A = this chain, B = another copy of it.
Amino acid sequence: MKDNVDLLFNPKSIAVVGVSEEITKLGSVIYHNIIESGYEGELFAVNPKYDRVFGNICYRDIKDIPSSIDLVCFVVPAQLIPEQLEHAVLTKGIKAAMIISAGFKEVGEEGMQRENKIKEIAEKYNIRVLGPNCLGYINTRAKLNCSFAGAPPPEGGIFFLSQSGAFCTAALDIAQKRNMGFNHFVSYGNKAEINEFDLLNYALNSDFVKVVGAYIEEITDGTKVYKLIREKNNKPVIILSPGKSEKAKQAISSHTGSMVRSASIRTQALNQAGAIMVEGMDTMFDLMMAFSWSRPMHGDRVGVITNAGGPGIIATDKIEEVGLKVADFSDETKQKLREVMPEAASVQNPVDVIGDALAKRYGDAIDILMKDSNVDSILVILTPQLITQIEETAKFIINASKVCSKPIIAAFLGGKYVRGGVERLYDYNIPVFDFVEDAVESMAYMYRYYNCQDSCTFHNLEVQDIEKSRKNEDELLKYVGEEQKALPEDLVMKISEEFDIDIPAQLVSSDIEEISKFCADKYPVVIKATTEDIAHKTDLKAIYLNLQNEDELRRSFDELQSNIASLPDRKNKGLASILVQEMITGGEEVFIGINRDGASTVYDEDFSDGGFGHVIVFGKGGIYTEIYKDIDSRLLPLTHNGIVNLVESTKVSQILKGARNARIFALDKVYELVDKIQKLALSYPEIASMDLNPVFVTEKRAVAVDMKIFVGK
């Protein structure tokens, strides 16, 4: 299949179906864009109404074209397209098509049927189709603007794909303002056939692509995209995927559900795969610029050079805020700076070259910091003062960047005055920002990206690798339907046994001797009435907590029995069955949850509804769960390292490690329990969600005191 996508982007011949004589019509715009972009392959116009368009031959039917056609581009009314597409395949054997026309699933049922027809044809003849309802694409390397967007951006390392055409046009305009270089600019519209997976796959496998930028509204196949990014992991993939404020598609009844919603799962999963998730168009462009132009940022120690104190302070604040460090210069560096700087200059970090600095002084400072092994990257801040040499300073930055293996990032503050310098930096592909804050933020993103490569150890890619068990399959399947249902307590108990989950020891009995024997090594204990009725009698006590010894047990047992006996329907029925349970005390309460994104078939190879699968949630439990929302989540399956990483990403893990008091809790039992819950969820894809809240973590155990399981298709 891959070759056909390549044929789409690098065709030796193109037929545009729907070129008219009117220059403003889309077909004509594309036809001219192809010519004007310098395309060197063969180009044919097709329209039954004309013999010639704009002085060139126009074919009445695609079959009349005397050459073979690699790519056919349709710009005719939607209702004609299914037939014409099949005609092109049958008569010319085309393998790749692009449908610009709108009028498909975005216009309702009839359009949807048309779009399904396209899908069928694509599958039947094994052809690749971009669109419908898209702008087309630009391939700068092939000198081919096969779109109705304006002038192409310069050639460069960025592959940009967008589900939204309008986002594409705005992006193209922004990119040109910054002179950012792209190799592909792809609008993929309704994605009848080619979707984000295909485009990301193409981009990640292309040696010419350095950075991928993607605007994605929803993902066709979550697990496939997840694995692709996770496995390749060879270049920055920056994704803007909005929609977190959408009402969640399913109303999930569980506690977990209220905190992890669908769009968050998408963000969490793609982030975990290694993609760089951003929330705004501004950040997206800042990062595409920084990642494609800057050297890799491996260290966190930033050296700052500025000709003004204020912006230096702002930079220092921001550097610490985003988790980078203000570098400590070596003595040699300070000495060398002292030699070339005027007395009033600061040779600490930030280096204040002061307001009268000419370009050379900036150049000297950059040279010195470049050689300091305590400095991992350099931020050059310029304000346009009276004698500041703006373009000259840009030149020094450009020259230094040529020989320096460290990232050099610039922030030129101002408007008209600094414009010349900024444009020069753009021309030489030096990342330059209007504001210090944006520059530092981009540096932080780069640092995090280049320093979390080892996160691959957090994740098993294959669900199949997890040891599974389905001993309770028959009983569980009884509850699996279209609607989500809670499993009954006894089945939850059986499943917790199946996966060896630590729950409080318990016994149901009416015999105090049996109960007393059971409790001998378990004090303190709790006893509860099992008779449903008593729960509604608020004047009668139905639960006795924290019984410390046999005396208290027997006394409470008698009291509880007499309470039960006083109920009208218990008259003369003898001793009631009592639930006795060990009472877990003094532990730290944590929370473990499971949420499934997608249907129960989400792990099937051949079927996808766009979901990512099960996500596990861990965090502070008990009454603080919703107050502090100290929870984090990960897509399953996780390796042991991944489990540790999940737990450690929460603040409550500091308590478990004994940060605030001498007690050390059984962290290993927590990891084990998370692992058991992951096996449970992956063994039963029918599980839609689970809540374990609280789990009591003591010095020796991690006990699931309350566990709920919801299943559904």
Contact = CB atoms under 8 A, between A and B. Distances in A.
A164 interface: yes
Interface in A222-279: 240, 242-246, 279
Contact of A435 (B280, B343, B661): B280
A280 B245 contact: no
Interface stretch (A173-181, A516-524, A557-565): A173-181
Interface stretch (A58-66, A203-211, A625-633, A681-689): A625-633
Interface string A409-442: 0000111111000000000000000111110000
Contact of A311 (B167, B654, B661): B167
A166 B308 contact: yes
A167 B386 contact: no
Contacts of A434: 174, 282
B310 A217 contact: yes
Contacts of A696: none
B435 A383 contact: no
A106 interface: yes
B316 A245 contact: yes
A169 interface: yes
A403 interface: no
A240 B311 CA distance: 11
Contacts of A321: 245
Contact of A314 (B148, B169, B281, B318): B281
User: Which of A166, A175, A413 counts the most chain B CB atoms within 10 A?
Assistant: A166
A627 B242 CA distance: 31
Contact of A310 (B164, B279, B282, B436): B164
Contact of A626 (B26, B166, B660): B660
B243 A655 contact: no
B415 A242 contact: no
A417 B163 CA distance: 21
Interface in A291-323: 307-311, 313-314, 316-321
A279 B343 CA distance: 30
A165 to B, nearest CB: 7
Contacts of A313: 217, 242-243
A452 interface: no
Contact of A344 (B106, B386, B417): B106
A173 B415 contact: yes
A29 interface: yes
A383 B170 contact: yes
Contacts of A384: 169-170, 173
A416 B177 contact: yes
Nearest to A386: B148
B355 A385 contact: no
A242 B317 contact: yes
Nearest to A629: B651
A107 interface: yes
A659 interface: yes
Given A243-B317, A383-B166, A414 B310 contact: no
A350 to B, nearest CB: 12
A652 interface: yes
Contacts of A626: 660
Nearest to A413: B170
B414 A169 contact: yes
A676 to B, nearest CB: 26
B414 A242 contact: no
A413 B660 contact: no
Contacts of A1: none
A310 B163 contact: yes
A437 B240 CA distance: 13
Nearest to A263: B317
A170 B308 contact: yes
A481 interface: no
Contacts of A242: 310, 313-314, 316-317
A244 B321 CA distance: 9
Which one of A107, A150, A386 has the greatest number of beta carbons of chain B within 10 Å? A386
A437 B282 contact: yes
B165 A355 contact: yes
Given A280-B314, A627-B655, A661-B623, A415 B174 contact: yes
A458 interface: no
A215 interface: yes
Interface in A607-628: 623-624, 626-628
Given A173-B417, A242-B317, A435 B29 contact: no
Given A623-B655, A623-B661, A245 B317 contact: yes
A311 B383 contact: no
Contacts of A385: 165-166, 169
Nearest to A434: B282
A281 B245 contact: no
14 contacts: A107-B343, A148-B386, A166-B383, A170-B383, A173-B414, A173-B416, A176-B416, A217-B309, A242-B310, A279-B317, A281-B437, A282-B438, A624-B660, A627-B660
Interface of A: 26, 29, 106-107, 148, 150, 162-167, 169-170, 173-178, 215, 217, 240, 242-246, 279-282, 307-311, 313-314, 316-321, 326, 343-344, 355, 383-386, 413-418, 434-438, 623-624, 626-628, 630, 651-652, 654-655, 659-661
Given A166-B385, A173-B417, 11 more contacts: A165-B385, A166-B309, A169-B383, A170-B384, A170-B414, A242-B316, A242-B317, A281-B311, A623-B655, A623-B660, A628-B651
Give 8 closest A-B pairs by Cβ, nearest first: A166-B308, A177-B415, A173-B414, A164-B310, A170-B413, A280-B437, A623-B660, A245-B320
